[in-house]
Structures are given as structure tokens and as C-alpha cells.
A and B are shown apart, each in its own frame.
Chain A
Amino acid sequence: MRRCGVSRTLRLAAAAAGAAVVILLPSAVSGYRSFQLVYVGIFFIALIGLNVLTGHNGQISLGHGAWVAIGAYTTAIVVTHTGVHALWTIPLAGLVAGVAGYLFGFPALRLEGVYLALATFAVAIALPSLAKRFPGLTGGGTGIGLDQPKAPFGLPLSPTHWLYALTWSIAAVLFAASWLLLHGSFGQTLRAVRDSEVAAASIGIDAAAYKRLAFGLSAFYGGIAGGLMAIAIAYVNPDTFPATLSILLLTGAVVGGLGSIVGPLLGALFVEFVPLYAQDISRDAPSVVYGLILILVMFVAPAGATELVRRAGTLIVHRLALNREPASEQTPSLKEAS
């Protein structure tokens, strides 16, 4: 019992420290880095969603970028056609994408593994072309330009810091929500369905319903990320959501660690920074560098970066424990002597 209490305090402390880092980071780094961290926050939200679907429910999606696109277009279209403040369109972006994802769950139920991956990939490829078919609504290939982001209510924040605060506040709320969901019976059911649909069905779980819910929930997160992306970039067009975005997101989810809670954060850092650094290392062949880094990561940490961090943590704890070993052995011997 006491052990559990200690680890709980530790966890709370770690969470508080993490929150403090997130809050203080923009003042420690340049404005541009803060802008990059806005992207990290957006990818973080998208990856939490993908992690629910792929990590906890075992359904591989190569089409997560499509939900991001739907969210982004929702925000852009609603803002340009109604003039409402972009801020209020974010929940709507999530809902529209969530409903789309839930509906996609119906046909997707019939597919598994690679077949499902291909079907989702088809959505990611088709969506940008679909957007061009309705130029009156979506602006066609030219897309939709939005006003540059600005802090509302006269808050004394630069546009970048406002975006940062917005993105990471939403990320924090959605992260907490996913934590509660995945630690409760909902998460357990999702994982039960992932591990064996037959076994889950035999104890009365409606596996199909849960798979659809997982799709809807993951698309909801993607849509929120998309809405934020539209606000941050202040521009939406089909080229903004290439099929490679979906691949990059799945890569981030796997690299971060599927099924873990902090995996999406590490994955988001990977999605944002590794392609940029690959460009720094080699202008001629960034994709080769990117591929090499990916192979290296999967070689060192096949279960994802979270696993690597955990292993490193265990190693350090073991070392500390080993160092203390002689001291703790001495005590009883002294006692014996006295």
C-alpha cells in the first residue's frame, strides 16, 4: 500500500513538473521554437486519437490525416462563411470529423490488418481530391486563407504564444480525458477487443460497437488537431494534407510507442522535428536520412520510444539500488553485532 502511495506521489510530481515545463517553455525558447511547439501540440492531439484506435484497439489506420483535413476544412469553411471567431469552431471540427470517423467505422468493420490499412489510406488519398470538387465551399486547389491568429479578449500575448497556450490547454484537457477513458472500463474493453474479438464477444462485449466508437473517438481527436492546424497555419488547401501526413502520423504513433499513454508526446516530437533535422543533415536526400533514423529508432526501441525511456528509467533505478546495496547490508550486521 505504501509503495503504491509513493509511486502515486511520484507520478503526480512528474505530471506537475511536466505541466510546469510546458507552461514555461515558450519564455525559455525563441518565438519560432514556440511556433514549432504549437505544431508539436497539434500532432500530440492527433496522435492521442490514433493511439486510441491503433494502440488500444488494434486497428491500423493509414488515413488519420483525413480526419485532420476534415477538421481543418470545417474550421476554415465555418469561419469564412459565418464570420464566427475561429476559436468556437474547434469543438465543431472535432465533432464533424468524429461523426465521419464513426460512420467510416461501419464499412471498416469488415476489414482487418493490412486491408483496413489500405482502406483508410484510400480515404487519405481521396479526401484532398474531393475537396477540389467543391470549389465554392473549399476554395478548390487554391484553398481558403484565414486571418492571422490573434489573442482574443485583449490578452497580452503575441500571436504565437496565444496559439501555444490554446493548443496546449486543449491538449492537456484531451490528454486527461484520454487518460481517464483508457484507464477505465472503456479502455479495458477496447484492449479486450484488440486482444481477442472472440473472447470479448463471449463475455458479452459488442466488439463491433466498440470498434466504431474507437474510430469515432480517434477521428474526433484528429478533427480537433485539424481545427487547430487551420488556425495556426491560417491557410487550408489540399496540398496541406498529402497522403504522407497520414503515414507520418502512423510512424509517429509507432515510434512513440503504441498503447502507451505518453507515447503520443514522443511521437509528436518525432513527427515535427525529425523531418526538419533530416533536411539539415542532408539537403539532397532528407528522406534517406529520415529513413535511416527511423530504422535506427525501431532497432534500438522496437516497442517504441516510451519503452526505451522506461528501460532507461529501470536501469537508473537498478543502478541506484545497487549502489545502496552495501549500505543496507551493513545495517543488519551492525545490529547483529550490538
Chain B
Amino acid sequence: MNGRKLLLALALLGLACWSATAATGAPATPGVSAQSITIGGTFPFSGPASLYAGIGAGAAAYYAYVNDHGGVNGRKIDYVTLDDGYNPAQTVQLTHQLVEQNHVFAIVGSLGTEPNLATRSYLNEQKVPQVLVSTGASVWGSGYRKYPWTIGWQPNYIAEGFIYGRFIVDKVPQAKIGVLYQNDAYGADYVSGLKSGLGAQQKKIVDQEGYEVTSSDVASQMAKLKASGANTLFVAATPTFAIQAVALAYKLGWRPIIFMNSVSATNTLMGLAAKNSSPDAVNGMISVRYWMDPSASKYAKPGAIELYRSILAKYSPKSNPDDAFNAYGMAEAWTFVDALKRAGKNPTRAGLMTALLHMNTKANPFLLPGMRLFTTPRDHFPLSQAVLVRYQDGSFRPFGHLLNYPRTRG
């Protein structure tokens, strides 16, 4: 029949066209032109994790500032950020868009453990750098043999949990620990770090309660933790739930020593927790810090907060300058710009990776004084130091000296 022949012809034609498109070669280094370098990132600008939106905004503001000061080797940085709502299905789709439509040079700073896991194999297969991801899962540093185009940035969660464990063994001998954790890879990393830090004293953990990121609150978990008789609370939770946990503990009349994971331990967030309950609920809380908090000028590098505030005011005026995640984004963007400068006049993707694996600098203005960005081809954890901080009357204050994390290797 004629119709069938026609369909067959159409199908063949389609196949031919496809093969033709598939064969067309891409330019030598995608995203790099004489005037600009296009990079991209995905962030939860909406949805349950949207308190992290400041990271994308802070980074974008820093790139705009660098562009106004001549760019990098004469090229302006064009940072395309898209909203994935923390849904990996969206992240994958938008990352395809960034790579295939925006032709980005690299994916920089994308937020979240699961969204980055979802795009990792695609980006590595396409040999697109997936760098300085905004998550502290240990896999970003340990998985480089299989995924050489991926590298993390922040200190990893296992090592942070380890530090709390050690601190408890040394300083809180009477501790009976209750753990609230997010039931996913990120929460599991923290709990395993805490356990290895406690070493032989893991019996100190009297109860562990997990919650789902999709749940609305952690009320029942907090009630169980209180009932377990714990006098120490370790919170491995994202901001919304961490704030709830602190306020709920107070309302239940429970006053444990609280260890708060750094992903939620900013002055703004814990200020919110204090407002929801009482300053007493937050005072004395312990955490770690590695990047500067814009509302704690005493502990930042000289001039850094002024620089941060002026950049944010000029290039992202709608952002709240007290939101420390903006500063996190800037510290991350500074790291990328530094690597890009060292990648040479005509950067390639491989050159960028090489630069990122030869970091050794204390110059990042948005990190705490003394913090070193350090990598080698065999050490893929750029940040592995932190300072213990304690919350008192509105802000986290460092105590003790800079701690070196134990190395987590894959």
C-alpha cells in the first residue's frame, strides 16, 4: 500500500537526518568564546530546599563583580542558573539544557547530593566538568577514579560528624546522644561520621530518629528523642527541619546540648529558631564553620565582609546580606575564578580540571582566616578544615583553633 511506503520513506528520512545531526562536531571547547565563558548550575530556587537559594544568588553576584573588573583573562563569565526544585528528574533535564542548548563550559556549584548524583554519569560521559558542587557528601572527593570530571568543594559530612564524635568523647563524657537525621545519603554520612568519631563509645547513642525530606514536620521524632532520656542532641537536618527541631525541643521542655550540622548552622537560621522558641533554646549550640558569616565580622578576614556586602548590594540587591548562604556562594565562586585564571589564556575542560586538582591557597577572602584550599591529583577534597563554633546571643562564635579533618579516601 502507498501509505505504508510513504511512512517507511519518512522513517528512513528521519533516521538519515538524525545520523547527520549526530555526526556534526562540536567546537573545540564549548562555552568559551573570545569574549565570554558560559557556565551553568542548578539550584532549588523553589520547593522544600529553597532556603539554599542564596548560594546561587551569591555566586552569580560574585561573577558579575568579576566581570565588571575585567573578567578572567579578558573573558566575562556568564553564569546560567536554573531552578530544579530539588527534584532529580528536573535536574537531569535542566542539565541537558545547560550542556546541549546553552553549551556551557562546565557545571559549577549545582546544589544537593541527590540532584548531583543524578547528573554525574551523564556529565562524566559527556566529559563536562561538574565542579565545586554544593554538597558535602563524601562521594565527590572519593569517587574520582570512576568520575574524573566531578569534584566537590565543602568539607565532607562524614568528617564533620567525626569531629562532633571526638568532641563528645573528650569534653562531654556524660553524654547520652539522641540523633535526628534526614533519611537519605546526606543524613547517613553524618551519622556514620559521628559513630566513627565516637569510636568505642558508640553506646552513647541512645536513640536515632530519621525523617523524610518530604514530611511536614519532625514533631513525633523529637518527642521520641526526648523520651529516650538523651541529654545531647545531634541534628543532621536541612534548615527547615533543623529550626523545627530546636523550637520543638524547647517547647517540650527538653534542654539537651545541641550539636547542629553546619548546613543549617547560620546565624540567620538559628536566629529564626530562637524567635520561634527562646534564645535559651539556641544558646550554647555547637557546630563547625568554614566560611565566614556576614553577621560575625570579628571572625572574618579584614575587609571581607565589607567586600561581600558591597558586591551583594550592587549585583544582587534583592538578596538578604545577613543570609550566610550568599557568602557561601561567593566563596565557591571565588574558588572557580581562581582555578579558571590558572587554567590559562585559552582554557579547556581538561585544563580546568588540572587547575582544580592543584589548589593550594589561603587567599579566598570569604573563608575563615587560615582556611586553605588544597588539592592534589590524589586528594579531591578542596576544603578539609573547620573551626568549632558555639552560639551565644545571636551569633556563632569560634572557639579553639582550626581543626584538620581526618582524610576520607575512596
Contact = CB atoms under 8 A, between A and B. Distances in A.
Contacts of A240: 87-89, 118
A32 B3 CA distance: 31
Given A140-B183, A233-B92, A287 B46 contact: yes
Interface residues of B, number: 49
A30 interface: yes
Chain A's interface size range is 35 or more
Interface in B211-248: 212-215
Contacts of B15: 156-157
A20 B122 CA distance: 30
Given A142-B185, A148-B125, A39 B93 contact: yes
B319 to A, nearest CB: 12
A128 interface: yes
A235 interface: yes
B88 A233 contact: yes
A243 B214 contact: yes
A19 B195 CA distance: 59
B214 A35 contact: no
Contacts of B122: 148, 234
Nearest to A26: B18
B7 interface: yes
Given A125-B214, A234-B92, A240-B89, A158 B100 contact: no
Contacts of A24: 10, 13-14, 17
B198 to A, nearest CB: 22
Contacts of A234: 92, 118, 121-122
A237 B88 contact: yes
A258 B186 CA distance: 41
Contact of B117 (A12, A36, A145): A145
A156 B214 contact: no
Interface string B107-121: 000000110011111
Determine chain B's interface SS by DSSP, over half rule: helix
A286 interface: yes
B18 A239 contact: no
Nearest to B11: A23
A146 to B, nearest CB: 8
Given A35-B93, A240-B87, A235 B214 contact: no
B321 to A, nearest CB: 18
A195 interface: no
Contacts of A35: 93, 96, 100
Nearest to A286: B46
Given A142-B114, A148-B121, A237-B88, A32 B14 contact: no
B135 to A, nearest CB: 12
Nearest to A35: B96
A333 interface: no
Nearest to B100: A32
Contacts of A188: none
- Which of the listed residues B21, B82, B97 has the most CB atoms from chain A within 10 Å of its own CB? B21
A33 B93 CA distance: 10
Contact of B17 (A27, A160, A229): A27
B83 interface: yes
Contact of B83 (A142, A160, A161, A283): A283
B174 interface: no
A279 interface: yes
Contact of B121 (A145, A242, A283): A145
Contacts of B188: 140-142
B214 A27 contact: no
B87 A27 contact: no
A233 B19 CA distance: 22
Contacts of B92: 232-235
B212 A132 contact: yes
A31 B21 contact: yes
A239 B121 contact: no
Interface string A220-261: 000000000100111101111011000000000000000000
A112 interface: no
A60 B118 CA distance: 32
Contacts of A31: 21, 100
Contact of B10 (A23, A125, A160, A239): A23
A141 B117 contact: no
B113 to A, nearest CB: 8
Contacts of B93: 35-36, 39
Contacts of A19: 7, 10
B34 interface: no
Interface in A259-294: 279, 283-284, 286-287
Contact of B19 (A36, A147, A157, A239): A157
29 contacts: A16-B6, A19-B10, A23-B11, A24-B17, A26-B18, A26-B21, A32-B97, A32-B100, A35-B100, A129-B212, A141-B184, A141-B185, A141-B186, A142-B114, A143-B88, A143-B117, A156-B15, A156-B22, A233-B88, A233-B118, A234-B122, A235-B119, A237-B88, A237-B118, A239-B86, A239-B114, A239-B214, A279-B82, A286-B46
Given A32-B99, A142-B114, 5 more contacts: A12-B3, A16-B7, A141-B188, A143-B88, A237-B88
Q: Which 3 A-B pairs have the closest CB atoms?
A: A141-B184, A27-B17, A235-B118
